[in-house]
Amino acid sequence: MSNDYLARIGSLVRDARKHRGWSQAQLAEALGTSQSAIARIEQGGQNLGIEMVARIGEALDSEIVSLGHSGPMHLRVVGGRQLSGQITVKTSKNACVALLCASLLNRGRTTLRRVARIEEVYRILEVLDSIGVRSRWINDGVDLEITPPTELDLDAIDVEAAVRTRSVIMLLGPLMHILDAFKLPYAGGCDLGTRTVEPHMAALRPFGLNVIATNHQYHATVDRALSPTRPIVLTERGDTVTENALMAAARRDGVTVIRNASSNYMVQDLCFFLEQLGVTVEGIGTTTLTVHGRPDIDVNVDYAPSEDPVEAMSLLTAAIVTSSELTIRRVPVEFLEIELAVLEGMGLDYDRSPEYAADNGRTRLVDLTARPSKLTAPLDKIHPMPFPGLNIDTAPFFAAIAATAHGSTLIHDWVYDNRAIYLTELTRLGATVKLLDPHRLLIDGPTRWRAAEMVCPPALRPAVVVLLAMMAAEGTSVLRNIYVINRGYEELAQRLTEVGAQIEVFRDI
């Protein structure tokens, strides 16, 4: 069994044991083994036979550790419970996937610290593994070490993994330095409606990349005689397109200027990483990036991506909708300033600690303590914009917050075709949500939440918003098929349970 699989079984065992209210020693006794063996199993450090897996399932009287674990994962939420204590924000999905792609720029070994153990990362790792990149979890499965091979085998790419994530698009930038011609499966991901890849093609064309899309594949060829003669002007200030342009510029022998660049958190993490690779990036945090490339990069590099502002917003929303006093640790505050200003305007009572540096030495963090507050609807609409606007991925959380506030809130999610529509699922939990058009929602609060059983919307943030509303609703709710949540959050149910929520993970047999 791979380490990965063992780690996943380990966390399922721990969830089930905690749900049962057992200590490791109690489980060990029931199984006739030692407490240290249970600790090893839970950390994914113990080889397990099928029989042992079945015995654990029996002992814990839990469906979650049963044979044939490929079925979808579901959550059972007993809502109406207040949260308390402290919860710590993990590193971001969006920086981690970009950094995994960027590791291909480097012939040396890349170590990434505290990488989020999420499905999106697993999909990119599967893709990298299939083309010959060696990766292994080290330090008890906390850090990740990546070593590219001397030659990549793109023909062997794991198509199934690749089409489950949009992030594969970010392999274009690094691969064009290595291969003259290659094929990549179409980028997939959440069902958010049409998401264009044309800005990526336009940004990479001046570097000599030509892409023809046929048969569910991008056929890429690289003309090495071509090189940008002018600044690269992005037609939209997208995050991954900026990252692709940065990676194309990183190994170019010369200086590249990128205009209308995103200065969002994941882009900044990538810039800091590129600096460690010996690439100079001027203008980090602004919309003009000047990249002094380095044609050959062969260094052993160690980088710690920063914490996820969207996860921080999710945890803050959990505190707000459950009227809890909760401390959220390691919040990358620069990327949550507007959200906090809006919430302050709505009446949120909270404290923030003095700032301290993230492990990358650059991103500023604070601890936030939210307290139960009587919120009123904001006077103006909630309207995300590329950074430094209100984050495009935090906007959906205002739907759950608005539902707890007194008055009417207008949320305008202009970015994605489908995402606002999924937020109407909150009506099943008792919220008053009116869809004005596919992009605008009017939400009237406060809400008397009620429990419900439903299938997860097929989009990450709306799915988490529904889960948080279930935590607010008295009674038992069921949220089915939570792959999309696991795409971006590491052990969310378990971590929320540790601060007082009651959420059980279960699977179909």
Using CB under 6 A as the criterion, which residues of the chain lie in contact with ligand PEP when the complex forms? 166, 189-190, 192, 393, 460-461, 488
Find which of ligand PEP, ligand UD1, none residue 190 binds, CB within 5 to 8 Å per kind: ligand PEP
CB of 392 to ligand PEP, least distance (A): 8
* Single residue of 164, 237, 251, 495 touching ligand UD1 by CB under 6 A: 237
Q: How far is the CB of 236 from ligand UD1 (least distance, A)?
A: 3
Question: Sign (positive/negative) of CA torsion 471, 476, 482, 486?
Answer: positive
| Segment contacting ligand UD1 by CB under 6 A, of 83-91, 237-245, 465-473, 493-501 | 237-245
Min. distance of Cβ 186 from ligand UD1 in angstroms?
13
The C-alpha atoms of residue 165 and residue 93 are separated, in whole angstroms, by 12
Q: Which is nearer to ligand UD1, 55 or 412 (CB)?
A: 412
Binding-site residue total for ligand UD1 (CB under 6 A)? 17
**Is 14 or 164 the residue whose CB approaches ligand PEP more closely?**
164
Give the CA distances from residue 200 to residues 38, 161, 263, 274, 282, in Å, rounded to whole numbers and listed in that order.
Answer: 48, 21, 16, 19, 21
Q: Pull the structure tokens for residue 451.
A: 């429990």
Helix, strand, or coil here: 495? helix
Rounded Cα distance, 195 and 203, in Å: 16
* 430 φ/ψ sector (left φ>0, alpha ψ -120 to 50, else beta): left
CA–CA distance, 380 with 392 (Å, rounded to integer)? 17
Q: Are 390 and 396 contacting, i.e. CB atoms less than 8 angstroms apart?
A: no
Could you tell which of ligand UD1, ligand PEP, none binds residue 494, using a CB distance below 5 to 8 A set by kind? none
Residue nearest to ligand PEP (CB): 189
Secondary structure class of 471 (helix, strand, coil): helix
Strands across the sheet containing 432-437: 407-412, 440-445, 432-437
Nearer to ligand PEP, 375 or 459 (CB): 459
Question: For ligand UD1, which residue of 79, 238, 305, 462 counts as binding (CB under 6 A)?
Answer: 238
Smaller CB separation from ligand PEP, 166 or 252? 166
Taking alpha carbons only, the member of 263, 356, 345 closest to residue 307 is: 356
Nearer to ligand PEP, 352 or 412 (CB): 412
Query: Does the protein bind ligand UD1 through residue 472 (CB under 6 A)?
Result: no
CB of 94 to ligand PEP, least distance (A): 6
Q: Strands 86-88 and 326-332: what pairing? A: parallel
Near ligand UD1 by CB under 6 A: residue from 196, 286, 288, 300 = 196
Please choose which of ligand PEP, ligand UD1, none residue 488 contacts, taking the beta carbon within 5 to 8 angstroms, the exact cut-off set by kind: ligand PEP
Sequence-ordered strand ranges (E) for 113-245:
134-138, 143-147, 181-185, 209-214, 217-222, 232-233
**Residue number with CB closer to ligand PEP (119 or 334):** 119
**Bridge-partner residues for 411, per DSSP?**
382, 441
Q: Which of 14, 117, 123, 166 binds ligand UD1 (CB under 6 A)?
A: 166
Q: Which is nearer to ligand PEP, 17 or 166 (CB)?
A: 166
Question: What residues numbered 28-87 form the site for ligand UD1, per CB under 6 A?
Answer: none
d(CA 178, CA 291): 19
| Shortest spacing between CB 338 and ligand UD1, in angstroms | 14
d(CA 420, CA 441): 7
Instruction: Pick one of 119, 239, 425, 491: the residue that binds ligand UD1 (CB under 6 A).
Output: 239
- What is the rounded distance in angstroms from the CA atom of residue 242 to the CA atom of residue 268? 10
Residue 78 — φ and ψ, nearest 5°?
Answer: -95, 110
For ligand PEP, which is the closer residue by CB, 104 or 190? 190
Joined together, the tokens standing for residue 220 give 């890429």
Binding residues among 410-469 for ligand UD1 as defined by CB under 6 A? 415
* Helix, strand, coil shares, percent, the chain, to 5: 40, 25, 40
Task: Report in angstroms the alpha-carbon separations of 195 from 166, 168, 191, 428.
Answer: 9, 14, 10, 28
Closer residue to ligand UD1, CB minimum distance, 143 or 236: 236
Phi, psi of 412 (to 5 degrees): -115, 95
243-302 residues in contact with ligand UD1 (CB under 6 A) are 266
Task: Give the nearest distance from C-beta 415 to ligand UD1 in angstroms.
Answer: 4
Which residue, 4 or 413, has its beta carbon nearer to ligand UD1?
A: 413
Residue 461 site contact among ligand UD1, ligand PEP, none (CB < 5 to 8 Å, cut-off depends on kind): ligand PEP
Q: How far apart are CA 279 and CA 282, in angstroms?
A: 10
266 binds, among ligand PEP, ligand UD1, none (CB under 5 to 8 A by kind): ligand UD1
Task: Identify the CA nearest to 486 among candidates 194, 120, 238.
Answer: 120
Chain residues binding ligand UD1 by CB under 6 A are 94, 97, 166-167, 195-196, 236-241, 266, 386, 392-393, 415
